[in-house]
Chain A
Amino acid sequence: AQKVTQAQTEISVVEKEDVTLDCVYETRDTTYYLFWYKQPPSGELVFLIRRNSFDEQNEISGRYSWNFQKSTSSFNFTITASQVVDSAVYFCALIMVPLGGATNKLIFGTGTLLAVQP
C-alpha cells in the first residue's frame, strides 16, 4: 500500500527563522514521483516541486530547498528565513507511474499548518 505521513500537524515560527517540514512515504514501487503543494486559505493547491524516484539530488529554489533520501523514504522541505506570506498548509504527495491504463492519482499526507509570526 502507498502512504504519505506528515507527522507535524502544526508548526509556529517567528519570521526569519528556518523551518523544516517532514514527509515520510511508503511504496513498493521503484518508480514514483513526490510532490510538495502549498495551500493558502483560499484553498487552491499551489504546486511547489516534483521529484522523481531516480533523482536524489537536493534542490534549492530561492528560500525553498528539498532533501530527498530514498534510504529513509523521506522528502523534507526547508524554508529559509521564513516570511509571514509562507503561512499556509503544506502537503506532501506521492504518485506512482501508471502502467497501461492505470490512473495517476495523487496520495496526499494530512498536511502541516505553518504559521509564521511577524
Chain B
Amino acid sequence: ETGVTQSPTHLIKTRGQQVTLRCSSQSGHNTVSWYQQALGQGPQFIFQYYREEENGRGNFPPRFSGLQFPNYSSELNVNALELDDSALYLCASSLGHTNTEAFFGQGTRLTVV
C-alpha cells in the first residue's frame, strides 16, 4: 500500500451537479497531483498542488478546481458535471513538486448520468 487514500471509492452523480473528491497524501508528502483516467485511456494530468497553492494545470476547464489543506490533504471539485466527466480520478502524492517519485491512491470512480 502507498499510504495515499481517496474517498469515496465510487460515486454516481447527475449531469449539472457538483462533486468533491478527497485525497489524503502519504505522511510527509507536501505535493498532490490529480489525474483523470477515462475508460480505456491513460491518466491525464489535471493539476498539482504544492504547499497549498496550485502549481501547474493541464488542459482542463475552470470548472475543475482544487484545494490543498495545511495537512497537505487535497480536494478536487468539479462543477456543472458533464457526461464526459465520467472517469477514474487518481491522486498522487510526492515530496516536493520536483520529485519524480509519486505514489498513487486507489482512485475514485465517478459516473455521471
The residues of B that contact A101 with a CB separation of less than 8 Å are 55, 97
- Point out the residue from A37, A47, A91, A105 that lies within 8 Å of B48, measured CB to CB: A105
Tell me the complex Cα distance, A111–B40, Å.
8
Contact A43 B97 (CB under 8 A): no
Q: Chain A 40-66, CB within 8 Å of chain B: the 1/0 string? A: 001111110010000000000000000
A47 to B102, CA, bound (A): 9
User: Is the CB–CB distance between A106 and B43 below 8 Å?
Assistant: yes
Known: A43-B107, A45-B90, A45-B104. A106 touches B97 (CB 8 A): no
Residues of chain B within 8 A (CB-CB) of A102 are 56, 98
Size bracket, chain A contacts: 20 to 34
Q: Are A105 and B109 in contact (CB under 8 A)?
A: no
**Which of A44, A95, A104, A111 has the most chain B CB within a 10 Å cutoff?**
A104
Report the nearest B residue to A9, measured CB to CB: B40
Contact in complex: A104, B100 (CB < 8 Å)? yes
User: How far, in angstroms, from A4 to B48 measured CA to CA in the complex?
Assistant: 21
Contact B42 A97 (CB under 8 A): no
In the complex, what's the smallest C-beta–C-beta distance from A103 to chain B, in angstroms? 3
Give CA–CA (A107, B100) in the complex, Å: 12
Within 8 A of A (CB), among B79-97: 88, 90, 92, 94, 97
Q: Which residue numbers of B lie inside 8 Å of A, CB to CB?
A: 2, 33, 35, 40-45, 48, 55-56, 58, 88, 90, 92, 94, 97-107, 109
